[in-house]
Amino acid sequence: MTVGAGSGHDVVVVGAGAAGLTAAESLRRDGFAGRITLVGDEHHAPYDRPPLSKQVLAGEWEAARAALRPDEHYRAQDIDLSLRTTARALDPATRRLTLATGEELGYRHLVIATGVTPRRLPFGHDLHGVHTLKTIDDAAAIAQGLASASRVLVVGAGFLGTEIAATARKLGREVVVVDVLDAPLVRGLGAWMGEVVRDVHAANGVEIRTGTGIVGLTSLDGRVTGADLSDGSHLAADLVVVAIGSQPTTGWLGRSGIGLDDGVLCDEFCFAAEDVVAVGDVARFRHLGYGRSLRLEHRMNATEQARAAVANLLAPPEGRVAFEPIPYFWTDQYAYKIQAYGLTPADAAVRVVRGDVAERRFVAAYEVDGRAVGFVGWNSPRDLRALLPELEHRRVDV
């Protein structure tokens, strides 16, 4: 079935996560009265993902609590939910979006918000007890495994991996984290901060083994029993969670002519093509302040970019405003809230400017050529916010 652009599908939003939902709501808030269709590949209405690795995984929240809006909200906002289907192809020239069902949607404006897909090991994902974490269903499956697991192996010591490890440890499980890099969180926060994170996990009974990778998984009767490492050692495990990063979900755009390079390429106004914007984890946009393109896999960016992109989508060209955020993200692990503003390049000089590292209450500056380009705070939200004006006028190309 083909639905023409003039038949009411004025805006189609592809991706029913936080970014996609914010885009749809922002259209209504900004006075858009046409038809809005929100396409999602899950059977769940939009929900929040950060709680999955923490409250939902720990059993502190029912999955339904992660829902971003009650069901009646979509009717009240006149947003059509098209769930359990994925985008298969896009033709910007004819303004046609083809779904996996074969249905074609015409559109006046299109919002791409398809997010990212977890990377997988080249082996072992057919075994019981081996998981990735992206969806509520993934969290439910891991939580079920945690209920009976004795030894948990987390592959990957990034933000997601260390959050999962902290949650599993709080549940009393024996936990080992393995990463090929030299320190946890090294890509996101650099080696110095990574060692602080390692110390916190060690103090809570989690072993983080860095500089080694997984070369194979062992099993018995179709269930994982452990992993062989590149350093020649073996780890026993009855639950394995793979958290080795993600890749933008852009395969459906391969023949569209939309620019792709580790995400959907956008200009400073979030446009990927005429009347097409991209938002959230999937969008790589030109940041004029930093003089470079950025793709931010952060929850706050999903909301901020969706609002900015929709405003530009509805505005005349002369009324568009460049999207120039100061990046912000956070992670909660054990009793610590780690927050970061700005850029935190791995090769930056890191200097503690407030508080005490030993007390795990401090703020560190990330400096390039003697200038602060980012700040990271541990349990120090007030001190961290007080330093933000230093970043406003210190945007540099790093």
List strands edge to edge, sheet with 174-179.
130-131, 239-242, 151-155, 174-179, 207-210
For residue 346, the model assigns a pLDDT of 87
Mean pLDDT of the chain: 94
pTM of the model: 0.94
Task: Please provide the DSSP assignment of 264-287 as one string.
Answer: EEE-TTSEEETTEEE-GGGEEEEE
Please check whether residues 110 and 178 belong to one and the same domain.
no
Determine the Cα–Cα distance for residues 278 and 284; give it in Å rounded to an integer: 8
Where are any strands of DSSP class E within 26-133? 36-39, 79-82, 87-91, 96-99, 104-106, 109-112, 116-118, 130-131
Tens of pLDDT, residues 179-232: 999 999 999 999 999 999 999 999 999 999 999 999 999 999 999 999 999 999
296 pLDDT exceeds 60?
yes
Please check whether residues 251 and 230 belong to one and the same domain.
no
Q: Specify if 330 maps to a domain.
A: no
Handedness of CA 184, 364, 337, 290 (dihedral sign): negative
Taking alpha carbons only, the member of 178, 181, 201 closest to residue 191 is: 181
Q: Specify if 326 maps to a domain.
A: no
Q: Report the share of the chain in percent with pLDDT over 90.
A: 92
Tens of pLDDT, residues 73-82: 999 999 999 9
Q: What is the mean pLDDT of residues 312-318?
A: 96
Question: Residue 222, exposed/middle/buried by CB under 10 A (0-12, 13-18, 19+)?
Answer: exposed
For residue 398, the model assigns a pLDDT of 53
Yes or no: say if 252 and 12 are a contact pair by the CB < 8 Å rule: no
Q: Report the share of the chain in percent with pLDDT over 70.
A: 96
Tens of pLDDT, residues 343-378: 999 889 999 999 999 999 999 999 998 899 999 999
Yes or no: say if 270 and 323 are a contact pair by the CB < 8 Å rule: yes
Tens of pLDDT, residues 162-185: 999 999 999 999 999 999 999 999
**Residue 395's pLDDT band (cuts 50, 70, 90):** low
Q: What is the mean pLDDT of residues 37-43?
A: 96
Q: What is the mean pLDDT of residues 136-148?
A: 95
**Residue 339's pLDDT band (cuts 50, 70, 90):** very high
Determine the Cα–Cα distance for residues 301 and 250; give it in Å rounded to an integer: 19
Please check whether residues 196 and 268 belong to one and the same domain.
no
Tell me, what CATH number does 193's domain have?
3.50.50.60
Q: Specify if 75 maps to a domain.
A: yes
Please check whether residues 232 and 269 belong to one and the same domain.
no
Q: Specify if 298 maps to a domain.
A: yes
Determine the Cα–Cα distance for residues 398 and 384; give it in Å rounded to an integer: 21
Please check whether residues 140 and 238 belong to one and the same domain.
yes
Please check whether residues 113 and 132 belong to one and the same domain.
no
Please check whether residues 40 and 186 belong to one and the same domain.
no
Q: What are phi and psi of 153, to 5 degrees?
A: -110, 125
Domain boundary residue among 292, 319, 346?
319
For residue 267, the model assigns a pLDDT of 98
Taking alpha carbons only, the member of 171, 122, 121 closest to residue 148 is: 171
Q: What is the mean pLDDT of residues 244-254?
A: 97
Biggest alpha carbon distance in the chain? 64
Please check whether residues 126 and 113 belong to one and the same domain.
no
Determine the Cα–Cα distance for residues 355 and 360; give it in Å rounded to an integer: 8
Q: Specify if 297 maps to a domain.
A: yes
Q: Say whether 329 sits in a helix, a strand or coil.
A: strand
- Identify the domain containing residue 181 by its residue range: 120-244
Q: Specify if 153 maps to a domain.
A: yes
Please check whether residues 8 and 91 belong to one and the same domain.
yes
Q: Specify if 398 maps to a domain.
A: no
Determine the Cα–Cα distance for residues 327 and 297; give it in Å rounded to an integer: 10
Dihedral-angle region of residue 15 (phi above 0 means left; psi in -120 to 50 means alpha; beta otherwise): left
**Residue 390's pLDDT band (cuts 50, 70, 90):** confident
Q: What is the mean pLDDT of residues 47-72?
A: 94
319 pLDDT exceeds 90?
yes
Distances (CA, A) of 250 to 71, 219, 258, 268, 281: 28, 33, 10, 20, 11
Please check whether residues 138 and 232 belong to one and the same domain.
yes
Both tokens of 396, joined, read 């540099």
**Residue 131's pLDDT band (cuts 50, 70, 90):** very high
Please check whether residues 134 and 227 belong to one and the same domain.
yes
Please check whether residues 125 and 219 belong to one and the same domain.
yes
Establish how many alpha carbons lie within 13 A of residue 350's alpha carbon, considering only the half-sphere containing its beta carbon. 22
Tell me, what CATH number does 365's domain have?
3.30.390.30
List strands edge to edge, sheet with 223-229.
214-220, 223-229, 234-236
Q: Specify if 262 maps to a domain.
A: yes
Please state the domain count of the chain: 3
The answer for residues whose C-beta is within 8 angstroms of residue 85's C-beta and 6 or more apart is 39, 40, 41, 99, 100, 101, 103
For residue 394, the model assigns a pLDDT of 52
Domain boundary residue among 244, 267, 290?
244
Q: What is the mean pLDDT of residues 272-285?
A: 97
Domain boundary residue among 211, 244, 277?
244
